[in-house]
């Protein structure tokens, strides 16, 4: 989406937050995912990567770390729940990094 969630004054951020709220979704982390230092030594931070979920906070453990595979930090979501609360069909979407 390229919406910086650290910029709380951004109209696109506000519109996107309203949209995901309509579907009962939440952003799992608030940490910056891109930290960039230019040749003059100026550092900028942004949060343009995120995972959306409707799971309860207590069911999710989120970690943001540098995997050194690009200029963005990685978001890891560890999701746990009781089997009886799982829906009948669960889908999983994973970005395949081996083809890069």
Domain boundaries, the chain: 11-83
pLDDT digits (tens, 9 = 90+) for 47-83: 989 899 998 888 889 999 998 888 889 998 888 766 6
pTM (whole model) above 0.85 = no
| Six token digits for residue 19 | 């949209």
d(CA 80, CA 22): 24
- For 24: left if phi > 0, alpha if psi spans -120 to 50, otherwise beta; the answer is left
């Amino acid at each position: 989406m390229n919406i910086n969630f650290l910029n709380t004054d951004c109209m696109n951020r506000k519109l996107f937050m309203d949209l995901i709220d309509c579907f009962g979704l939440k952003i799992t982390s608030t940490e910056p995912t891109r930290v960039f230092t230019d040749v003059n030594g100026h550092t900028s931070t942004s949060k343009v990567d995120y995972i959306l979920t409707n799971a309860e906070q207590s069911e999710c453990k989120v970690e943001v770390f540098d995997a050194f595979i690009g200029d963005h930090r990685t978001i890891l979501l560890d999701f746990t729940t009781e089997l009886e609360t799982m829906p009948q069909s669960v889908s999983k979407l994973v970005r395949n990094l081996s083809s890069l």
